[in-house]
Structure 1
Amino acid sequence: MNYKSLIKNNLWLQLLLALLAIWLVITLIFFFHHRVVARTVEIPGWQLDEAQNLGVQIKKISVYDWQRAPGYYQGMAGLGPLWSLGHRLQGEVAEGYFQAAGAIAAYYSRPYQKTEGYRIEVAGAYLNEGYTQPPRFTVTVNEDLVIEEDSFTLDVEEGGKLSYFTATAHADVDGITHLDVQYHREGQEGPKETAENFEVELYTAFNGPLGYSRRYNPEGTVVEFIKDYQEGSKKAQRYVGQWEKTDKGGARQVLRANEKGQFPWKNLQWMQKEKKPWSIQRPITEYLGELKGIADVFAVTLRYVSLEEKSGAAETMGEQKFYLVEEGNRWKIIDVSPLN
């Protein structure tokens, strides 16, 4: 078959190929709109319980020369008719529509804009118990320019023992080679954190910059673990009485390697036995420090509530603690308590 002749004599095919070429070019342009870099330093380990740290842990220091473009977070809401169409749909169809259309809307947009100078971002966590105020930060740039934070955002849990923060500052300089980060809390000065051996992080449309709490907060790992566990249990229900011999789905992937053979799966089996619909109230995270010879252990407490189908009333079923450690910037579950 002579493809050149076929294309030459088919006007509609020519038009289709032209539109496809235009779409590919536009898609490539927007791909580069999402491509930005940041220079970062990550601080390994946790020392939240050491007195000189004032209950504060800096986990990451970043430097970049871009910021989110105004209006970018509008997403689907800025698309008018497409947004209205989604509200006419119901259930899983509506959920799938908003996910797909929202992803497309986010991709074909310009999420960043260039800044004058550089943004400096300090991210981490701090303990709430024993303190009434969060820490405040100053940054020394290139050993001579001292600046204070100009914004401070928190992911705060109501009644929680641990909060996540992101402090940012602007440095009107041509380049940054050295940073000294200092924090103060309730009249006391914490230890200085130095950043100079930066690594480059590349962000794209498929690997965008995550907020600190989304990346390091162990709560998300626990919730995903439960979802994967339940999915695995559905596949295992056909094997009556053989649960311990069946695959636990993707849940195994977030267990620490040396815990997989002795993980107390029996403490989760109530999920298969419970007949009423149930849900999770917002988790509470706490830093435990050393536990059973393991350093830097965190606990995430989940409170489960059952839902009455007719009245919709919620009734507390009990609480369960998941114990985790951080390994290579990923959370690994090491234990789970019985439901109580």
Structure 2
Amino acid sequence: MLRKRWGKVLLGLLTIWLVISVYFYFQHRVMVQVMKVPAWSLDDPANQGVLVKEIKVYRWEPQGDNFDSYDRWWPVLEFANKLPRSIRRKYSDFVGSVLYFYTDPYHKLEDGARRVEIIGYILQGAPGGLENFNHPAIRVYSGEDLIAGVSSEFGAQHSGDSNFLLFEMGDKIYSSVKDSIKLTWQWDNGPTVTKSIINSRFEIKTYSFFNRPPRRYSNLRPVRKAYELINVYGAGKKEMVTSLVSTKVSEFPWHYIDWVKQQENYVSYAEANYYGKYKGFENVFTVDLSFARNAQEMDAGKGYEQKVFLVDEDDGWKIVDVSPYK
């Protein structure tokens, strides 16, 4: 009798846990309308050094970090310091994922409201330059409606000595967004550039806890793909590393990165730049990689240096070439 009662209690607790878990699973489930903008040449003077890559529309906003929730669970997180070094990271990642799962990461916008987000590149040497993050006035129209460029929401990020910056702008609107898109931008009192996007369509992407929305600018960074090439090739995963190379490349110089198979540990540094035209490809970016066995060798210039050439294709960054290491 007692065993049956405990069985019912456990079944009830399991049911409550499942209901709560299903609730939080759907709190992580959001949809985004994404339009991939057909690329134009970034270094063409007529384009004034601006390239828009994506337009996103969604009806939610991130909640922001809930530090109070993490404070309550700090003893659980701090327990990682008492574990062997070999499993600390795995423990912290697991606990952090569990805590994040049982949160409300987004909140729904009021009825009729939408967020519009535009991301892209601005090239150094553009009419306004990159000094003080000066940027052009960019506006986006859907039909006759102005859907972005209404407010001053504009963010940019510049890394090291790179010759470009990443930008993001957005607005909250209360009108629908159609596939017919027109972009305009103007530096100060200079000429206005206009681009009409007529052959692209918004596609709906669904994200969840296991497939989260990409972080800001993450889709625009070629550095990660260059590192992935080196790391995956060094691990001997030939099929996976082949998928990183553009299908438009007939012969890839794999022997130029054979050196990584002899290096078990190294420190590295990377810097991305816009390159332009290269071997029949347009809008090529480069990532200059520097590798050394330790920081002292890196500072002394005794490591390897290599340049990776990449293009942003429809399904993300693809590698088109790599230089000999030196």
Shared fold per TM-score greater than 0.5: yes
CA distance in 2, matches of 1:328, 1:145: 27
CA distance in 2, matches of 1:255, 1:313: 28
CA distance in 1, matches of 2:38, 2:84: 45
Is 1:24–2:18 an aligned residue pair? yes
Name the structure 1 match of 2:155: 153
CA contact 2:157–2:165 (8 Å) conserved in 1: yes
Name the structure 2 match of 1:223: 227
Shift of 1:121: 0.6
Name the structure 2 match of 1:169: 171
Structure 1 stretch displaced more, 51-60 or 184-193? 184-193
Distance 1:258 1:52, change over 3 A: closer
Shift of 1:73: 7.7
Aligned counterpart in structure 2 of residue 250 of structure 1, from 240, 251, 269: 240
* Deviations 1:76-101 (CA, angstroms, capped at 9, x unpaired): 56632222223444533111112111
Is 1:49–2:36 an aligned residue pair? no
* Deviations 1:240-281 (CA, angstroms, capped at 9, x unpaired): xxxxxxx63622221223547x32222112223447x42111
Aligned counterpart in structure 1 of residue 268 of structure 2, from 280, 305, 314: 280
Name the structure 2 match of 1:118: 114
CA contact 2:155–2:169 (8 Å) conserved in 1: yes
Quote the RMSD (CA, aligned, Å).
Answer: 3.0
TM-score of the superposed pair, with normalisation by structure 2: 0.84
Aligned counterpart in structure 1 of residue 194 of structure 2, from 191, 199, 224: 191
Aligned counterpart in structure 2 of residue 320 of structure 1, from 293, 306, 314: 306
Name the structure 1 match of 2:287: 300
Name the structure 2 match of 1:267: 256
CA contact 2:37–2:197 (8 Å) conserved in 1: no
Partner of 2:59: helix, strand, or coil?
strand
* Deviations 1:114-173 (CA, angstroms, capped at 9, x unpaired): 2242211111112123523233323446625575243222232111112221111122x2
Percent of residue pairs identical? 27
Distance 1:140 1:28, change over 3 A: same
Structure 1 stretch displaced more, 178-187 or 95-104? 178-187
Name the structure 2 match of 1:137: 138
Structure 1 stretch displaced more, 146-155 or 7-16? 7-16
CA contact 1:307–1:315 (8 Å) conserved in 2: no
Distance 1:142 1:118, change over 3 A: farther
* Deviations 1:52-82 (CA, angstroms, capped at 9, x unpaired): 2111111111122211113348885663222
| Number of corresponding residues | 314
Partner of 1:41: helix, strand, or coil?
strand
Code of the residue aligned with 1:154 in structure 2: it is A
Shift of 1:47: 1.8
Aligned counterpart in structure 1 of residue 98 of structure 2, from 94, 101, 104: 104
Unpaired segments ≥5 residues, structure 2: none
Distance 1:76 1:228, change over 3 A: farther
Partner of 2:34: helix, strand, or coil?
strand
Partner of 2:267: helix, strand, or coil?
strand
* Deviations 1:95-115 (CA, angstroms, capped at 9, x unpaired): 111211111111111011122
Shift of 1:307: 1.0
